[in-house]
């Protein structure tokens, strides 16, 4: 796959799927990207393969799966923006091998998820859903049995990252005691403290909530054995990833009243689009809240996600900056008003950097600035020169011909 040299912005094609927020389109327009196609739905199969041909920047949310086959068909693709937290829907290593940077928004919906979690905790501890359903059907269940205040209760947070730590602060405002469990040591917020083990957290907590990513270590981390350690008066919340909880075991615990209730927003298998049937062993169980993966689905969160991901895509296209990429070495770059900038992504091996520098030294050209970062497989170098404008294309061709090159781009910066 090759790139055009200094491709004008009006010729850079951007495809946004799944109803990505207006804030993203406005940011692209403000950066002079005019060729933006939007689709409200996800695409799959042949439809997606055909749609990505000739596209330079692809924007998706969680339902569009970018497989190796899709990447193979994307003959102009330089970047993918996941307008959500997760990137599991993208074949990340396959994208990296093709020099396609993948960006996401790991922070923008943290408040929305934290607020939903607290609201669900209140509703579960008060048995609101069952009482509301009874009232809708003409019943009148006025009782304080199994109805509790949040104040003074213990919130156990499994995963103390961006969402977990913000939830910690909000929960203390309710007067809750907060404990957390994480596989790494984390600085606590407020008066929270780290549990010695997951088992300790489960035994002590009145509300257990999960906020971990999907990894080989977290898949199935909450099963029958873990649920059996919870108090019978405790409630369980999963607004993280559907695969981290054994839903059959959770359903059994709820049916047998081994725990008081549960709220689940994510499922191992979810419908691909609105209107498709949804089936779960958790349906119809007492004091159970089921929501259709809406933890981050607020207007504010979607606006923030649109701006965050679009900004990263624009910076990568305009300057070559990879900060925030989940699959390429991260290099932060200052903008330059003049001169030329080259980016070179390569399979990391000794001697590559010296060969790149030789392309300039052989021509008697000064390198004004150079930025370099590697990971376990790839190296990413950015070179700037004010003197090399006349030989920019020749240098680019030489960089592309170097052994191990994945992608080389030439980026002009003007006044």
Query: CB-hemisphere CA count at 13 Å for 63?
Result: 19
* Residue 392 confidence (pLDDT) above 80: yes
Reading the block at residue 151, the tokens are 């104040």
Q: Is 400 a catalytic residue?
A: no
Could you please report the per-residue DSSP string of 170-181?
Answer: HHHHTT-EEEEE
Q: What is the pLDDT of residue 252?
A: 98
Mean pLDDT of 334-351: 85
Pick the CATH number of 331-414 from 3.40.190.10, 3.60.15.10, 3.40.50.2300, 3.30.70.260: 3.30.70.260
Q: What is the pLDDT of residue 1?
A: 37
Predicted model pTM: 0.85
* Residue 275 confidence (pLDDT) above 90: no
* Residue 404 confidence (pLDDT) above 70: yes
Mean pLDDT of 280-307: 95
Q: What is the pLDDT of residue 2?
A: 40
Mean pLDDT of 176-188: 94
| CB contact set of 137 (below 8 Å; sequence gap of 6+) | none
The closest of 408, 409, 404 to 350, measured between CA atoms, is 404
Question: Which of the residue ranges 142-146, 326-330, 410-414 would you say has the lowest mean pLDDT?
Answer: 410-414
pLDDT digits (tens, 9 = 90+) for 87-134: 989 999 999 999 999 999 988 899 999 999 999 999 999 999 999 999
* Residue 349 confidence (pLDDT) above 60: yes
Backbone angles phi, psi at 256, to 5 degrees: -85, 5
* Active-site option among 26, 39, 200, 270: 270
Cα–Cα distances in Å, from 129 out to 118, 174, 229, 255, 360? Answer: 15, 21, 25, 16, 69
Q: What is the pLDDT of residue 107?
A: 85
Q: pLDDT confidence of 413, banded at 50, 70, 90?
A: low
Q: Is 407 a catalytic residue?
A: no
Strand, coil or helix: 208: strand
Name the strand (E) or helix (H) holding 397: helix 392-400
Question: SS3 sequence, 86-143?
Answer: CCCCECHHHHHHCCCEEECCCCCCHHHHHHHHHHHHHHHHHCHHHHHHHHHCCCCCCC
Mean pLDDT, all residues of the chain? 93
* Active-site option among 38, 258, 293, 400: 293
Q: pLDDT confidence of 415, banded at 50, 70, 90?
A: very low
* Residue 338 confidence (pLDDT) above 80: no
* Residue 8 confidence (pLDDT) above 90: no
> Do 115-290 and 331-414 show the same overall fold?
no
Q: Is 13 a catalytic residue?
A: no
Q: pLDDT confidence of 386, banded at 50, 70, 90?
A: confident
pLDDT digits (tens, 9 = 90+) for 223-274: 999 999 999 999 999 999 999 999 999 999 999 999 999 999 999 999 988 8
Reading the block at residue 343, the tokens are 């980016």
| Residue listed under structure tokens 């003007």 | 414
Tell me the sheet residues that pair with 38: 16
Q: In terms of DSSP bridges, do strands 193-194 and 207-210 run parallel, antiparallel, or are they unpaired? A: unpaired
First to last CA, the chain: 30
Whether residue 167 contacts residue 157, with contact meaning beta carbons closer than 8 Å, is answered with: yes
Cα 231–236–237 angle (5° rounding)?
160
Whether residue 211 contacts residue 185, with contact meaning beta carbons closer than 8 Å, is answered with: no
The residue ranges of every structural domain in the chain are: 8-104+299-328, 115-290, 331-414
Q: What is the pLDDT of residue 27?
A: 97
Q: What is the pLDDT of residue 317?
A: 94
| Residue listed under structure tokens 């850079």 | 12
Percent of the chain with pLDDT over 90: 83
Backbone angles phi, psi at 94, to 5 degrees: -65, -40
Cα–Cα distances in Å, from 344 out to 327, 339, 369? Answer: 15, 17, 14
Mean pLDDT of 384-412: 90
Q: Which residue has the higher pLDDT, 62 or 312?
A: 312
The closest of 94, 96, 100, 146 to 123, measured between CA atoms, is 146
Q: What is the pLDDT of residue 117?
A: 98
* Residue 5 confidence (pLDDT) above 70: no
The closest of 334, 306, 311, 339 to 33, measured between CA atoms, is 311
Report the C-alpha gap between 157 and 160 in whole angstroms.
7
Whether residue 304 contacts residue 108, with contact meaning beta carbons closer than 8 Å, is answered with: yes
Tell me the sheet residues that pair with 156: 179, 208
* Residue 6 confidence (pLDDT) above 70: no
As its CATH architecture, domain 115-290 has: 3-Layer(aba) Sandwich (3.40)
Q: What is the pLDDT of residue 390?
A: 78
* Residue 221 confidence (pLDDT) above 80: yes
Query: CATH homologous superfamily of domain 8-104+299-328?
Result: NAD(P)-binding Rossmann-like Domain (3.40.50.720)
* Active-site option among 56, 97, 241, 346: 241
* Residue 177 confidence (pLDDT) above 90: yes
* Residue 303 confidence (pLDDT) above 60: yes
């Amino acid at each position: 796959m090759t790139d055009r040299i200094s491709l004008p912005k009006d010729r850079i094609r951007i495809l946004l799927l799944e109803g990505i927020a207006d804030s993203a389109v406005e940011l692209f327009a403000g950066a002079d990207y005019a060729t933006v196609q939007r689709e409200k739905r996800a695409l799959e199969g042949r439809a997606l393969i055909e749609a990505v041909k000739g596209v330079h920047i692809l924007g998706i949310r969680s339902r569009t799966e970018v497989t190796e086959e899709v990447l193979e068909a994307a003959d102009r693709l330089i970047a993918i923006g996941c307008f959500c937290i997760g990137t599991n829907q993208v074949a990340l290593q396959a994208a990296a091998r093709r020099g396609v940077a993948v960006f996401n928004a790991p922070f923008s919906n943290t408040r929305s998820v934290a607020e939903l979690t607290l609201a669900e905790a209140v509703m579960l501890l008060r048995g609101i859903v069952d009482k509301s359903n009874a009232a809708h059907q003409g019943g009148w269940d006025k009782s304080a049995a199994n109805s509790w205040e949040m104040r003074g209760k213990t919130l156990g947070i499994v995963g103390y990252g961006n969402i977990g730590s913000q939830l910690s602060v909000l929960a203390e405002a309710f007067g809750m005691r907060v404990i957390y469990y994480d596989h790494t040591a984390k600085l606590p917020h407020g008066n929270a403290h780290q549990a010695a083990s997951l088992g300790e957290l489960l035994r002590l907590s009145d509300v257990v909530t999960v906020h971990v990513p999907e990894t080989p270590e977290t898949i199935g981390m909450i099963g029958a054995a873990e649920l059996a350690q919870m108090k019978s008066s405790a409630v369980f919340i999963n607004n993280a990833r559907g695969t981290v909880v054994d839903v059959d075991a959770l359903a059994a615990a709820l049916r047998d009243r081994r725990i008081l209730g549960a709220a689940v927003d994510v499922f191992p298998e979810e419908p691909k689009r609105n209107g498709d049937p949804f089936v779960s062993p958790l349906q119809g169980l007492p004091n159970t809240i089921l929501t259709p993966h809406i933890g981050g689905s607020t207007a504010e969160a979607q606006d923030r996600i649109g701006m965050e991901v679009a900004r990263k895509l624009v910076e990568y296209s305009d300057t070559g900056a990879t900060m925030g990429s989940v699959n390429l070495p991260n290099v932060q770059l200052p903008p330059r008003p003049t001169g030329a900038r080259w980016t070179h992504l390569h399979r990391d091996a000794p001697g590559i950097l010296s060969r790149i520098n030789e392309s300039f030294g052989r021509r008697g050209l000064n390198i004004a600035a150079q930025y370099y970062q590697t990971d376990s497989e790839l190296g990413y170098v950015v070179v700037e020169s004010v003197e090399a404008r006349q030989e920019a294309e020749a240098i680019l061709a030489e960089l592309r011909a170097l052994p191990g090159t994945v992608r080389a781009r030439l980026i002009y910066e003007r006044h």
